[in-house]
Amino acid sequence: MRLGIAVCFAAVLIAVAGFAAFAGAEATHKSSTVKLQKAGAFDDDKVVKVGFGKTVKATAKLRLDDFFDALIINANVSVKNTGKKPMFFHYYISFFDADGNLVGCAAQGAFGNDGLKPGEDSNLGSCLIPIPHDVAKAVKSYKIVYYESEKPIGKS
């Protein structure tokens, strides 16, 4: 019984510590079913576009692609700071099969100490998820969490 209580207490402490790391950050959550298609960078008719964010507006373009002869889920995102202050952000995306099992995930965000300046935009091109060909057909949904803040994400 004591071990169970200790484990639950530890889980709560970890959850609170994790929440505190993002205190002050605005969180946006998105999820949906998805049918990914193989598409090149300019095949907009085959790309799934997902918009999110309040101040740092973001658009993810989801597609299957080849990267150095490997099949990938390309989940790259473009961002623009529409606010009046430098902003920090971090983007997380996960893909799931029909049973809710994780297929793959990626994350990327602002780096450095200055944030994204007002009016500035950027393309994050490292959200590439290599997956087996048979797994690509099993992708049925995605979930996104996106944090934005005037302070660096994860710092108080």
- Give the list of residues 6+ apart from residue 148 with CB closer than 8 angstroms, or none: 25, 26, 28, 53, 54, 55, 56, 87, 88, 89
What are the structure tokens assigned to 4, written together?
Answer: 């169970």
Nearest C-alpha neighbor of 152 from the set 106, 116, 118: 116
Task: Tokens 């989801």: give the residue.
Answer: 62
Would you mind telling me the total number of residues written for the chain in this entry?
Answer: 156
Element housing 48 (H / E): strand 48-52
Domain boundaries, the chain: 27-149
- Cβ distance 129 to 105 under 8 Å? yes
3-state SS, one letter per residue, for 78-139:
EEEECCCCCEEEEEEEEEECCCCCEEEEEEEECCCCCCECCCCEEEECCCEEECCHHHHCCC
Alpha helix ranges (H) inside 1-94: 2-21
pLDDT in tens, the chain (156 residues): 333 333 333 333 333 334 334 447 899 999 999 999 999 888 989 999 999 999 999 999 999 999 999 999 999 999 999 999 999 999 999 999 999 999 999 999 987 889 999 999 999 999 999 999 999 999 999 999 999 999 999 886
Q: Running DSSP on this structure, what letter comes out for residue 148?
A: E
Look at domain 27-149 and name its CATH class: mainly beta
Q: pTM above the 0.85 mark?
A: no
pLDDT at 156 (0 to 100): 64
